[in-house]
């Protein structure tokens, strides 16, 4: 009865969707556990490119049952539009294929407006959120003022609470932020429409996952965001408002740790970040542009959700070791190794220096990242195109050394190496 976790080891966009899609071949249930439509997971299947925000990437395999866990915050507008766009791509999602936790929290139009207003008010200290209402929705959840999706089971009964929520938000928007309030009448109308569309999918997903595990089925948890965006363990306050880590997976699914088999940390072969906050190995200029790509390929480093150019830099082994510690990774999966081909210079960050003192660990946690000077080591680069290589021995020696260097530095095996977005562009190692 194994539970496998796919966890972002960096600042998100590591290729979790792509790796989930691979592992989902052998999974019975694929579940998201935290975050909302701030996530953007691109998965390439043949000539089709799917950009998923809420529905687990496992939906692209006919045999899976997909779950949106209780740790998530869900915007019904995005959810319905994703269901519709999957349907027009030939994937009709009946309730037999998708269960949504009735304990997940609703993202309302008020949360979207508040996300924008709060970012505006932060001025030059803005966080660079995705603007999807994530922070305000989790704020209301922890303040015990949130609205759970269970409201859709009987919208009439929950209407007064919903209206009160909108009223309160409007007072805040108008008086504190000096912004127009939202149109309550139309929000209420949509509340009923959304309820009737989403109600058939609502379920006790904790029970569903537990039953599946007890029956010996394989459950795959698809992380969103990444460890360094974790509310507790990320580069606070430049984080998201949820827990994209192993602990968050258990919490957001409602299962204990006894079922866990693999905890797979997904890392790119380099480092990226979208939004504000510290980034010790960040590059500027030509090298950054080279890692980012010009935008002509779907995999170039521009946000799947917001289209913003991602900041790019060298792979940071200090942070990768930190992520391995926070999550208890049992292995790593390395993506985008192909992007490094043909670079004249290739560097790895092996340690930090702070006040003249070097350290290979992040002592003091991510809040000290601003003060860290990365110690970079040049490693041998390679010319060869990797995109059609499917075996370990087929990789150029310098690429094997690069991978080996990461493994020995983090103390974990890299069992999957991705060399392109397509399903078969993968080197599997036993």
Which of 6, 8, 10, 13: binder of Mg ion (CB under 5 A)? 13
Orientation of helix 184-198 relative to helix 109-122, angle to 10°: 120
Instruction: Select from 67, 146, 418, 427 the one that contacts ligand GDP (CB under 6 A).
Output: 418
Closest to ligand GDP by CB, 344 vs 424, is 424
Rule CB under 6 A: is residue 264 a binding residue for ligand IMO? no
Q: Which does 316 bind (CB under 5 to 8 A by kind): Mg ion, ligand GDP, ligand IMO, none?
A: none
Token couple for 137:
């929705």
Instruction: Choose from Mg ion, ligand GDP, ligand IMO, none: what does 339 bind? Cβ within 5-8 Å by kind.
Output: ligand GDP
Residue 411 CB, nearest approach to Mg ion (Å): 27
Which of 20, 32, 40, 312 is close enough to bind ligand IMO by CB under 6 A? 40
Residue 168 Cβ vs ligand GDP, minimum distance, rounded to whole Å: 33
Residue identified by tokens 């050394």 is: 401
In three state form, how does the secondary structure of the chain look?
CCEEEEEECCCCCCCHHHHHHHHHHHCCEEEECCECCCCCEEEEECCEEEEECCCCHHHHCCCCEEEECCCEEECHHHHHHHHHHHHHCCCCCCCCCEEEECCCEECCHHHHHHHHHHHHHHHHHCCCCCCCCHHHHHHHHHCCCCCEHHHHHCHHHHHHHHHHHHHHHHHHHHHHCCCCCCCHHHHHHHHHHHHHHHHHHEECHHHHHHHHHHCCCCEEEECCCCHHHCCCCCCCCCCCCCCCCHHHHHHHHCCCHHHEEEEEEEEECCEEECCCCCCCCECCHHHHHHHHCCCCCCCCCECCCCCCECEEECEEHHHHHHHHHHHCCCEEEEECHHHHCCCCCCEEEEEEEECCEEECCCCCCHHHHHHCEEEEEECCCCCCCCCCCCCCCCCCHHHHHHHHHHHHHHCCCEEEEECCCCCCCEEECC
Beta bridge partners of 106: 74
Q: Which of residues 5, 15, 152, 194 is near ligand GDP by CB under 6 A? A: 15
Contact between 128 and ligand IMO per CB under 6 A: yes
Among 8, 35, 40, 280, binds Mg ion (CB under 5 A): 40
Among ligand GDP, ligand IMO, Mg ion, none, residue 227 binds (CB under 5-8 Å by kind)? none
User: Which range in 166-174, 201-209, 331-339, 362-370 contacts ligand GDP by CB under 6 A?
Assistant: 331-339
338 is an active site residue: no
Q: Which is nearer to ligand IMO, 51 or 415 (CB)?
A: 51
Asked if 13 is an active-site residue, the reply is yes
Question: Which of 64, 245, 335, 409 touches ligand GDP by CB under 6 A?
Answer: 335
Residue nearest to Mg ion as judged by C-beta position: 13
x-or-dash pattern for ligand IMO, window 291-330, by CB under 6 A? Answer: -------------x--------------------------
CA 27/CA 101 separation, integer angstroms? 20
Q: 32, 41, 105, 158: which one contacts ligand GDP (CB under 6 A)? A: 41
40 lines the binding site for ligand GDP (CB under 6 A)? yes
Q: Which is nearer to ligand GDP, 320 or 339 (CB)?
A: 339
- 229 lies in the binding site for ligand IMO (CB under 6 A): yes
Between 13 and 82, name the residue whose CB sits nearer to Mg ion: 13
Residue 58 binds to ligand GDP (criterion: CB under 6 A): no
Q: Does 231 bind ligand IMO (CB under 6 A)?
A: no
The stretch among 9-17, 23-31, 119-127, 393-401 that binds Mg ion (CB under 5 A) is: 9-17
B/e letters for 248-264, b = 16+ CB within 10 Å, e = fewer, are: bbbbbbbbeeebbeebb
Binding-site string for ligand GDP from residue 252 to residue 291, where x marks contact by CB under 6 A and - marks none: ----------------------------------------
- Torsion sign, CA atoms 40, 172, 108, 103: positive
Q: Does 292 bind ligand GDP (CB under 6 A)?
A: no
Q: Interface with ligand GDP includes 16 (CB under 6 A)?
A: yes
**Contact residues for ligand GDP, defined by CB under 6 A:** 8, 12-18, 40-42, 44, 298-299, 304, 335-336, 338-339, 418-421
Would you please indicate which residues are annotated as catalytic (active-site) residues? Answer: 13, 41
**Contact residues for ligand IMO, defined by CB under 6 A:** 8, 11-13, 38-41, 127-130, 132, 134-135, 224-226, 229, 240-241, 274-275, 304
């Amino acid at each position: 009865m194994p539970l496998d976790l796919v966890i972002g080891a960096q600042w998100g966009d590591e290729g979790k969707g792509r790796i989930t899609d691979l592992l989902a071949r052998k999974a019975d249930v694929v579940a998201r556990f935290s975050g909302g439509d701030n996530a953007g997971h691109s998965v390439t299947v043949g000539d089709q490119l799917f950009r998923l925000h809420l529905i687990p990437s496992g939906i692209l395999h006919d045999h899976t049952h997909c779950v949106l866990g209780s740790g998530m915050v869900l915007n019904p507008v995005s959810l319905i539009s994703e269901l519709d766009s999957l349907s027009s791509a030939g994937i009709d999602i009946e309730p037999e294929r998708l269960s949504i936790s009735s304990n997940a929290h609703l993202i309302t139009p008020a949360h979207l407006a508040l996300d924008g207003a709060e970012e505006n008010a932060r001025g030059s200290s803005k966080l660079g959120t995705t603007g999807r209402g994530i922070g305000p929705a989790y704020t209301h959840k922890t303040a015990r003022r949130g609205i759970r999706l269970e409201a859709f089971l009987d919208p009439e009964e929950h209407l007064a609470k919903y209206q009160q929520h909108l009223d309160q938000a409007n007072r805040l928007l108008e008086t504190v932020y000096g912004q127009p309030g939202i149109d309550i009448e139309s929000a209420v109308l949509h509340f009923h429409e959304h309820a009737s569309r989403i109600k058939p999918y609502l379920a006790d997903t904790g029970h569903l996952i537990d039953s599946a595990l007890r029956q010996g089925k394989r459950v795959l948890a698809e992380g969103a965001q990444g460890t360094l965006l974790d509310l507790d363990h990320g580069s606070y306050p430049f984080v998201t408002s949820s827990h994209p880590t192993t602990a968050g997976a258990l919490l957001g699914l409602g299962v204990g740790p006894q079922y866990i088999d693999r905890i797979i940390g997904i890392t790119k072969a380099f480092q990226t970040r979208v939004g504000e906050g510290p980034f010790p190995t960040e590059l500027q200029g030509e090298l950054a542009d080279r890692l980012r790509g010009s935008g002509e390929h779907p995999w170039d480093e521009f946000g799947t959700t917001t289209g913003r150019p991602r900041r790019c830099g060298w792979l940071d082994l200090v942070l990768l070791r930190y992520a391995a510690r926070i999550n208890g990774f049992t292995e790593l999966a390395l993506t985008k190794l192909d992007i490094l081909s043909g670079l004249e210079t290739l560097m790895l960050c092996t340690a930090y220096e702070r006040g003249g003192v070097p350290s290979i660990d992040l002592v003091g946690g991510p809040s000290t990242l601003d003060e860290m000077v990365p110690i970079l080591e040049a490693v041998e680069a390679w010319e060869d195109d990797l995109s059609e290589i499917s075996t370990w021995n087929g990789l150029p020696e310098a690429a094997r050394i690069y991978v080996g260097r990461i493994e020995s530095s983090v103390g974990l095996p890299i069992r999957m190496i991705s060399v392109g977005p397509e399903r078969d562009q993968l080197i599997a190692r036993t």
